[in-house]
């Protein structure tokens, strides 16, 4: 796509939030001028609202009047200086507005119809982000007292997070007649997304959530609204304003293709899937006994098809997991014969293959992605059944322990009266929702435990904080890996939590060094960060050892699950390679047989007086004349 083919789209949204009485934010979107801005007013009562609107109107008026006369960077910087003077003058003219001010982040795209670059200027803590090819980076630096102290090395990152002046601005528009303006210019590429926002967004929404929505592929207007919803779910403690600027459209990633085109194509083939399951004999399964055949097929095949559709749409495995647990419960109620459940899962797989093959006729790439998605879904289904079995077995084990304890109480074993076995669970496979039970943190990191376990949990929290502070803001994959490990530590060995975090981290990567090496390098870097962070804590050595063991267990589980996803991804290619190898061996054997036959025919045609041996395949044939009959072929 040429530079001239880039088309700018932009949309913004603003919300009062859940705490404030009024909205003091203002929004500027002018597609024709190529001017966009977010302004976050302050000053109490209506002064903040007046300040943000005054600054917005001043910036728009200045750029409109001077767009053809000044270089873009000077134009945008001067527009904010003009706005600062306008707010200052308005506050001086009206005593009720005294002390008002506003932050501002403004983006100007010169040459609207042939955009090549964007100029961003800001004052205060409203921010600009750039999302490009799956990575999000912050383009602005907050003008706050704490940020200034941090940049000078006077406080640590950990101190900055809890500093009482964390949100106190060091610069704004209107407090003085002039303000220092930071300006930056960036080249635009097709697929870039710029986000301008007030602190009501990033103060209550995670960086991971913001990055995920920016990369979702949804329309700019939908992303702007979804970002506000994200901040509201995070507490919504301030006014929230978001503005998304999109520079054309980049090729969709594999994840986006599956979530959109893949999910829709799968759902359109629902009748084919149900028909294929019917043809495979699903209605005759013992699991469907007591139901009319058509109702049973709709119940089982239809439910699986719908569950997989929702998981494709949301890039999760939760719906298939729930379906498989319900199916497994019915299977156990019907006797629990493994071959019966295996037959049902194989039938669903065969029906899914038929659907994907039908899609492959029109969309080969999409079908390849769906092949992987279906394989993952069936693995999730089997894990869900395994978890169900483990739960049932634990229940049986608890009953046996109880019965044995009752018998032991009536007739103690030995002088001590101790039971011959412990009441600790003996089934480690896919334990239920427990907080990293391998080290006994049954309440999770947030469980408020006391004693030794609580100390370990607090130590792990401290390790997470230290490790996160050591990661640069642009190392997004490392940050995401730390977040995944924290989620696993909190939720413990709950398989859906581990699988969901691993899938989110793995995404839909290309199976080469470019796609895989950064991920495993990030996981290794996180391991080293956690190891170093454990030694930086001031806990006793025993507590450090327990914390290191907990974190290492979570890291091993995450790496193992990510590796499993990788193996799933390469499985189809591996199977095709094995098929090709088998076919090659068969063809080679057939070629050798034909060459032997050819030698026999030539020997017969030449007669006993002469013989021309046949050279091996691929070599030149050298005629040889025999004076006597040739020796017999030992073969």
- Residue 562 located in a structural domain: yes
- Residue 338 located in a structural domain: yes
Domain boundary among 217, 251, 285: 251
pLDDT at 264 over 80: yes
Domain boundary among 410, 429, 452: 410
CATH number at residue 559: 1.10.490
Q: Number of folded domains in the chain?
A: 3
DSSP state of 630: P
CATH number at residue 13: 3.60.40.10
Average pLDDT over residues 185-208: 91
pLDDT in tens, 454-466: 777 888 888 888 8
Same domain for 189 and 173: yes
- Residue 82 located in a structural domain: yes
* Among 480, 474, 505, residue whose Cα is nearest residue 255: 505
Paired residues of 169 in beta bridges: 144
Listing DSSP states for 233-300 in one string gives HTT--S-EEEEEEEES-PPPPHHHHIIIIIHHHHHHTHHHHHHHHHHTTGGGSGGGTTS-HHHHHIII
- Residue 410's pLDDT is 57
pLDDT in tens, 504-556: 777 766 666 667 788 888 888 888 888 888 888 888 888 888 888 888 888 88
pLDDT at 496 over 80: no
- Residue 35 located in a structural domain: yes
Compute the distance between CA of residue 220 and CA of residue 473 in angstroms, rounded to an integer.
Answer: 24
Same domain for 557 and 465: yes
- Residue 527 located in a structural domain: yes
- Residue 635's pLDDT is 43
pLDDT at 102 over 90: yes
Same domain for 558 and 518: yes
**Best mean pLDDT range from 106-115, 178-187, 563-572, 577-586:** 178-187
Domain boundary among 207, 233, 251: 251
Q: What is the rounded average pLDDT for all residues in the chain?
A: 79
Same domain for 149 and 286: no
Q: Tell the burial category of 550 from Cβ atoms under 10 Å away from its Cβ (0-12, 13-18, 19+).
A: buried
Compute the distance between CA of residue 8 and CA of residue 113 in angstroms, rounded to an integer.
Answer: 8
pLDDT in tens, 307-360: 888 888 877 777 888 888 888 888 888 788 888 888 889 999 999 999 999 988
- Residue 56's pLDDT is 97
Same domain for 483 and 508: yes
Burial 393-426 (b: 16+ CB within 10 A, else e): eeeeeeeebeeeeeeeeeeeeeeeeeeeeeeeee
User: At 624, is the pLDDT very low, low, confident or very high (cuts 50, 70, 90)?
Assistant: very low
pLDDT at 14 over 60: yes
List the end-to-end C-alpha distance of the chain, in Å, as a whole number: 65
Same domain for 118 and 80: yes
H or E element in which residue 136 lies: strand 135-138
Same domain for 89 and 142: yes
- Residue 564 located in a structural domain: yes
List the domain range (segments joined by +) for residue 96.
3-251
Average pLDDT over residues 423-435: 39
Same domain for 140 and 90: yes
Whether this model's pTM surpasses 0.75: no
- Residue 600 located in a structural domain: no
- Residue 606 located in a structural domain: no
pLDDT in tens, 75-89: 999 999 999 999 999
Same domain for 567 and 497: yes
Task: Look at residue 92 and give its three-state secondary structure.
Answer: helix
Same domain for 258 and 246: no
Compute the distance between CA of residue 133 and CA of residue 250 in angstroms, rounded to an integer.
Answer: 8
Same domain for 326 and 350: yes
Same domain for 291 and 223: no
């Amino acid at each position: 796509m040429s530079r001239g083919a880039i088309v700018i789209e932009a949309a913004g949204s603003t919300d009062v939030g859940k705490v404030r009485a009024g909205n003091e934010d203002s929004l500027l979107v002018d597609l024709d001028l190529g001017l966009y801005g977010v302004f976050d007013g302050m000053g109490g009562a209506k002064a903040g609202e007046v300040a943000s609107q005054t600054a917005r109107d001043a910036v728009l008026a200045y750029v409109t009047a001077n767009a053809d006369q000044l270089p873009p960077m000077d134009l945008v910087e001067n527009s904010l200086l003009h706005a600062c003077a306008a707010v200052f003058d308005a506050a001086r003219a009206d005593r009720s507005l005294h002390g008002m001010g506003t932050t501002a982040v403004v983006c100007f795209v010169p040459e609207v119809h042939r955009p090549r670059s964007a100029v961003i200027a800001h004052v205060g803590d409203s921010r600009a982000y750039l999302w490009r090819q799956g990575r999000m980076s912050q383009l602005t630096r907050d003008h706050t007292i704490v940020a200034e102290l941090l940049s000078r090395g006077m406080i640590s990152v950990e101190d900055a997070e809890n500093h009482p002046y964390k949100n106190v601005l060091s610069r704004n528009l209107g407090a003085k007649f002039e303000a220092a303006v930071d300006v930056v210019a960036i080249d635009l590429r097709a697929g870039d997304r710029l986000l301008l926002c007030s602190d009501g967004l990033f103060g209550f929404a995670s960086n991971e959530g913001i990055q995920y929505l920016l990369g979702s592929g949804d329309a700019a207007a939908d992303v702007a609204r979804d970002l506000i919803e994200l901040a509201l779910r995070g507490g919504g403690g301030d006014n929230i304003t978001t503005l998304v600027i999109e520079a054309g459209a980049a090729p969709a990633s594999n994840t986006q293709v599956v979530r959109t085109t893949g999910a829709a194509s799968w759902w359109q083939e629902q009748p084919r899937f149900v028909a294929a399951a019917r043809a495979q004999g699903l209605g005759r399964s013992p699991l469907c006994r007591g139901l009319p055949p058509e109702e049973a097929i709709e119940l089982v095949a239809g439910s699986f098809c719908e569950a997989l559709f929702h998981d494709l749409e949301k890039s999760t495995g939760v719906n298939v997991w729930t379906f498989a647990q319900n199916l497994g419960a019915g299977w156990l109620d019907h006797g629990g014969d493994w071959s019966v459940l295996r037959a049902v899962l194989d039938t669903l797989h065969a029906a899914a293959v038929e659907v994907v093959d039908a899609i492959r006729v029109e969309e080969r790439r999409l079908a390849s992605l769906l092949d992987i998605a279906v394989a993952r879904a069936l693995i999730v289904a089997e894990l869900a059944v395994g978890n169900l079995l483990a739960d049932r077995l634990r229940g049986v084990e608890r009953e046996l322990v109880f019965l044995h304890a009752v018998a032991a109480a009536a007739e103690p074993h030995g002088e001590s009266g101790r039971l011959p076995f412990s009441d600790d669970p003996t089934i480690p496979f896919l334990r239920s929702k427990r907080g990293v039970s391998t080290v006994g943190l049954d309440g999770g990191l947030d469980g408020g435990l006391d004693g030794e376990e609580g100390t370990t949990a607090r130590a792990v929290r401290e390790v997470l904080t230290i490790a996160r502070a050591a990661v640069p803001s642009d190392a997004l994959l490392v940050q995401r890996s730390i977040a995944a490990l924290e989620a696993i530590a909190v939720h413990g060995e709950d398989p859906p939590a581990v699988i969901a975090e691993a899938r989110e981290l793995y995404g839909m990567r290309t199976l080469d060094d470019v796609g895989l090496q950064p991920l495993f390098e990030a996981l290794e870097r996180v391991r080293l960060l956690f190891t170093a962070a454990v030694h930086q804590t001031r806990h006793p050595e025993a507590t450090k050892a327990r914390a290191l063991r907990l974190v290492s267990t979570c890291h091993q589980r995450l790496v193992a699950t990510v590796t499993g996803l990788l193996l799933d991804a390469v499985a189809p290619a591996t199977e095709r390679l094995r098929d090709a190898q088998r076919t090659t061996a068969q063809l080679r054997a057939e070629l050798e047989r034909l060459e032997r036959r050819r030698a026999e025919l030539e020997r017969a045609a030449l007669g006993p007086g002469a013989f021309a041996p046949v050279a091996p395949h691929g070599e030149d044939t050298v005629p040889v004349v025999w004076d006597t009959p040739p020796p017999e072929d030992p073969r």
